[in-house]
Structure 1
């Protein structure tokens, strides 16, 4: 077997193509767009290169055929905030061969050790953890956009190598053809109509205001949490620009108290329901196919990806009130029959309780693993978020 650093254009293509080959006959796999994956490893596209570095490899057999791939990266904003300096690995794919998998893990670990790391999280993203984060271990069905799908045998690879569960990630599903539980609905409606509180949805015509509101709530809600790092505002602006034509304005809601932003929810149409037909390519014909299915309202599921409420308002039921408004907006678009609430970590019991209170059913589980390079070092799982500091956000660490 031969490990090859991905440098040339042909090697980059091999890195991308291997996933297509591996999942060729799997009807649940929605191949991410090539441009999206390339952008993650492009310093001009990914702001994380301002405070980190990344590398990719492919693994070939004796015949020169690609049989695996992996990436490694260091986010210096977080790497040194743990007991052990910690990097990451991700975008792991491999045939069902333990020796091949271990060689890929060894390669990532050695690269990280050379740069002073003492631990490795995986599989994770070189970016925000709403996308490409965690290993699917339960719920092998079509995933929402950004949620990883993988081979079931990967779990044994990670755990036998020495990775341990750092935290679990749960995805809940809401059947929008069924009403919210009556008790929740009454409380949410009462809060939504309290004087001094206002709720409104995102509008592209005033996008900069809402982007600033997201940043303000995000920083206030999570500044007390372990390993907090501010969002890069340019990343939010980029998502807004690229999402135009796909984003439903009525699926992004904000809460205000006396004019001050205190909370937000972001739900996105699950474009995986279209991407699953495109095999990762966005050529001319696939662009036509994409917009054809968009117009045909092929997308029937939305995914709530991020939410936040500033701490002093977290006991007011603001989350419930936003759900109340968002539910009416989703019902008005009758093609949407399902909402995925993903992901929420096992370290955030408040959000788990909220998801279950609205009737969410746990459908999928991902693991974020950590491998300590010194097996004698004490292993600690991520701490539970203290009640008084909980940001009501689905996925952020």
Structure 2
């Protein structure tokens, strides 16, 4: 006789460890799943280590059959998201769920019911998911691109999950795209001409960031980001606690020549962040830094050699976004970072994104340099 299925909230350290450990078993035979470092995964769900919790609350749930964990989910409410315009996706009464993994569809449905009930009890009238857990972390469900591993800060999933979510009366609300770019060759002639024109313009300076002034440079980028993205679907401004904790997490893979700030007449107006794909280094570690994983990772971080770079964020001040200069600055930053990626880090490809499907400006830039969509993620919604 099968053990009864029970859904219980995560309340103890042992529960949190079980929550983190479940994917290691579910994806054990999936060559394209990248095991996260367990310490980093635990930090994501720890309010003391994730600045997102300064304006959000969450409840984690585990599905148990006897003493065996067979599923997990998070339910969460971002108080900043509640203040955003409803036309941009969030707004009053909108909660989220994410970090979902399950062995079977009935387990998923039970977990989803628990997450939705938690949201209802707190006054939420609509649910978005999966969002794990901030929109800036791993939003969306992978539905295309299962045949190759995700890059750093992008998610992986089982193909079955899409059908389970849609069978639970969730409808697609937004599609997120990532683009694959071969960076070993030249860009098309028109792009090269645009870059050369920008290089002749004395008003434009494309500079590297200075990691020694990390906080100052981060503040410049944050100011541009919060302006550039403020009208985008799903936008929630990044806060100082989040910037602090993301900085601690990402500072080891921040390199001056891979992050550029564009200045016009001495004023910062655009930026582009590129990160070496840390997943290439951590995949062989199977989630553990001990006994020797820490030494291997430290050696890699000193002078990373990677196949792939990821461009998680670009931004141009809104006042320039409909101008010719916006795309010119973007192409210049892309070109300069591409050169450094190939010459200094041995990279051969880059992944750009995520990009909203309806962000025609960014999609046009990605397609003009001959990049192609390689992964598709969906975010769903349902009235509670």
TM-score by length of 1: 0.88
Encode CA deviations 1:166-220: one digit per residue, 9 max, x unaligned: 1101110111122211211111221233111111011112223211211221233
Q: Distance in 2 between matches of 1:270 and 1:26?
A: 19
After the TM superposition, which residues 1-397 of structure 1 pair with which residues of structure 2 at under 5 Å, given as runs?
1-61=5-65, 63-81=66-84, 82=86, 85-95=93-103, 97-129=104-136, 131-140=137-146, 141-225=148-232, 228-294=235-301, 297-314=304-321, 315=323, 316=325, 317-373=328-384
TM-superposed CA distance for 1:288, in Å, is 1.5
Q: 1:333/1:127 Cα in 2 relative to 1: closer, same or farther (>3 Å)?
A: same
Which residue pairs with 1:393 in the alignment? none
Q: Distance in 2 between matches of 1:37 and 1:51?
A: 20
Encode CA deviations 1:95-151: one digit per residue, 9 max, x unaligned: 1x221110011010000000000111111022242x221100000020001111010
Report if aligned partners of 1:211, 1:233 keep a CA contact under 8 Å in 2.
no
TM-superposed CA distance for 1:305, in Å, is 0.5
TM-superposed CA distance for 1:246, in Å, is 2.3
Counterpart secondary structure, 2:22: helix
Counterpart secondary structure, 2:74: strand
Encode CA deviations 1:335-363: one digit per residue, 9 max, x unaligned: 11111001101121111111011111111
Q: Distance in 2 between matches of 1:192 and 1:118?
A: 52
TM-superposed CA distance for 1:80, in Å, is 5.0
Encode CA deviations 1:215-246: one digit per residue, 9 max, x unaligned: 22123323445664432134334433443432
Counterpart secondary structure, 1:324: helix
Q: 1:41/1:256 Cα in 2 relative to 1: closer, same or farther (>3 Å)?
A: same
Q: How many residues align?
A: 370
Q: Distance in 1 between matches of 2:163 and 2:20?
A: 24
Mark the runs of 5 or more structure 2 residues left unpaired by the alignment.
Answer: none
TM-score by length of 2: 0.91
TM-superposed CA distance for 1:262, in Å, is 0.1
Q: 1:334/1:38 Cα in 2 relative to 1: closer, same or farther (>3 Å)?
A: closer
Q: Which has the higher helix share?
A: 2
Q: Distance in 2 between matches of 1:41 and 1:231?
A: 18
Q: Distance in 1 between matches of 2:254 and 2:222?
A: 19
What is the Cα-based RMSD across aligned positions, in Å? 1.8
Q: Distance in 2 between matches of 1:67 and 1:223?
A: 39
Q: 1:90/1:183 Cα in 2 relative to 1: closer, same or farther (>3 Å)?
A: same
Mark the runs of 5 or more structure 1 residues left unpaired by the alignment.
Answer: 374-397
